[in-house]
Structures are given as structure tokens and as C-alpha cells.
């Protein structure tokens, strides 16, 4: 029970990695505030989690809006009295070169993948300072630290998030607030499968081909990423601060 009575905000809670994170943290004793913009999915999941006896509250949140980010933090404090851990897990993947990237694609990527993390951290850190400790784990991407082709908005937003993580870590390590990031490559989630379908490709065939490109033999499952996030949030990672951790199965972005 690594997270017994710890209060945790998890964004993107209705997604593949997000659902896994909620299950993992709640099963280890955490009090979870689960946030997502998909209202019906989040409500259905919330009922399921609560039926299992987990301490999970839900908050429908559109991370593209500063006010929603700040309301999420206030809702967590109102329900649980504070915030011990913030998991900035939500993200979107606009695809295209700069010539294919519309203004809407660019600003959507920045709002959800970067600005929301800024607003959530800015609202959360004062509560952690008052408590004398805290942990924040951001989900960046290896495509942010080693940008791949034809994802200019996504790569830029995730690269900036990795830099933001390092900067916040330096500023707030003296507050005993550890801030780290994970950088996955491809993960077998509904998001990546939807991407295949939008391009007219069979999702199962697309996953199968991706598996062949990974030295470890397969792309990541949500649990593979969630376990690393949980480690970084736990006391076992007590001396890790400012780390940007690739979780890739040894697959480079190019290769």
C-alpha cells in the first residue's frame, strides 16, 4: 500500500493509461480525484471504481481552459483536504508537418499538453508547500526529447513539457516537492488505435507492425507506463527529482 491515504489528481483518467493509473493508485490506498473531458465515460468509470470500494471522486475537466484546471485543484482540496501527488497524464496527438498543421491543431496541442500542466502545477504547488512535501509526474514523450517526423505540434509541446519539468524540479526541490517526467514511445491505447483508424488502417495490424519495430518485442501496454509513473510518485524514488525518464523498450524514435 505505497499510497495509503495519499491524495492524487490524475488527468486523462478515462484514457488507456489514465484508467490504469486510477486502478493502480486506488488499489494501493490512495484517495483519487479522476479528471477527464469525456463526461459520460468518466461517470461510468467513476461508478465502477466506487463499486470496487475505491476512494475515487470524479471531475469533468476541459484542460484546454485555465479555469477548468484551477477548478480541478480546488475540487480536490474541497473533497480530500489537500494534494499529495499530481499526475499530469492527459495529452493529445495532432499529426502533421508545419504545412499540414492548422492554428487549431497547434493551439490545442499547446493548451492540453503544456499550458494545462503549467496551470495545474501553479495551482497545486502552494498546497504541497504548505504540507511540506509532494510529488508531480508529468507524461512527456520520447518524441518530445528526440522529435520524430510529421508531428510538429505534438513534439514541440512534449519537448517543452520536458523542459518545464526540469525547471520546476530545480525551483521546488528545496520545498521537498519532487517533479519528474516519463517519456513513453508508442503505447497500446485507444488513442493510438483511433489514430490508425483515422488514417484508414486496421488498428490490430498497425499494432502488430509496431511491435516488430521494438527491440523488446512489443510496444508498451498502459500498465508498463503506469508502473513507472507510480514508482516516480512513490517514496522509493525519493532522490529522483528533475528526471525525464524514457520508457521505450529500447526503441529509438528513428530506426
pLDDT in tens, 73-110: 999 999 999 999 999 999 999 999 999 999 999 999 99
Q: How confident is the model at residue 201 (pLDDT cuts 50, 70, 90)?
A: confident
Position with higher pLDDT, 255 vs 117: 117
- How much is the pLDDT for 41? 97
154 is catalytic: yes
- How much is the pLDDT for 106? 98
Q: How confident is the model at residue 203 (pLDDT cuts 50, 70, 90)?
A: confident
- How much is the pLDDT for 12? 98
Q: Which residues are CB-contacts of 21 (< 8 A; sequence separation ≥ 6)? A: 10, 13, 87, 89, 226, 229, 230
In the set 37, 54, 154, 239, the catalytic residue is 154
- The mean pLDDT of 135-142, rounded to a whole number, is 98
Nearest Cα to Cα of residue 30 among 68, 61, 72, 1: 1
pTM metric for this prediction: 0.96
Is 90 exceeded by the pLDDT of residue 193?
Answer: no
- The mean pLDDT of 125-137, rounded to a whole number, is 98
Q: Which residues are CB-contacts of 246 (< 8 A; sequence separation ≥ 6)? A: 142, 145, 183, 185
93-122: b or e for each residue (b if 16 or more CB lie within 10 Å)? bbeeeeeebeeebbebbbbbbbbbbbbbbe
Amino acid at each position: 500500500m505505497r499510497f495509503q491515504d495519499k491524495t492524487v489528481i490524475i488527468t486523462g483518467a478515462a484514457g488507456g493509461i489514465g484508467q490504469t493509473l486510477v486502478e493502480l493508485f486506488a488499489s494501493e490506498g490512495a484517495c483519487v480525484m479522476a479528471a477527464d473531458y469525456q463526461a459520460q465515460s468518466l461517470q461510468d468509470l467513476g461508478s465502477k471504481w466506487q463499486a470496487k470500494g475505491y476512494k475515487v471522486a470524479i471531475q469533468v475537466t476541459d484542460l484546454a481552459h485555465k479555469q477548468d484546471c484551477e477548478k480541478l485543484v480546488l475540487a480536490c482540496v474541497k473533497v480530500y483536504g489537500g494534494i499529495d501527488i499530481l499526475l499530469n497524464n492527459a495529452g493529445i496527438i495532432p499529426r502533421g508537418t508545419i504545412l499540414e498543421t492548422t492554428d487549431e491543431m497547434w493551439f490545442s496541442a499547446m493548451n492540453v499538453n503544456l499550458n494545462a500542466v503549467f496551470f495545474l502545477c501553479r495551482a497545486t504547488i502552494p498546497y504541497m508547500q504548505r504540507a511540506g512535501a509532494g510529488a508531480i509526474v508529468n507524461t512527456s514523450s520520447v518524441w518530445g526529447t528526440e522529435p520524430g517526423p510529421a508531428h510538429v505540434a505534438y513534439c514541440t509541446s512534449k519537448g517543452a513539457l520536458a523542459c518545464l519539468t526540469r525547471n520546476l524540479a530545480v525551483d521546488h526541490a528545496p520545498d521537498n516537492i519532487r517533479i519528474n517526467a516519463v517519456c513513453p514511445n508508442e503505447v497500446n491505447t485507444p488513442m493510438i488505435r483511433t489514430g490508425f483508424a483515422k488514417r484508414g488502417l486496421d488498428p490490430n495490424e498497425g499494432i502488430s507492425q509496431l511491435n516488430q519495430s521494438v527491440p523488446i518485442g512489443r510496444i508498451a501496454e498502459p500498465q508498463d507506463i503506469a508502473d513507472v509513473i507510480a514508482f516516480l510518485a512513490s517514496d522509493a524514488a525519493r532522490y529522483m527529482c528533475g528526471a525525464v525518464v524514457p520508457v521505450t523498450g529500447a526503441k529509438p524514435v528513428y530506426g
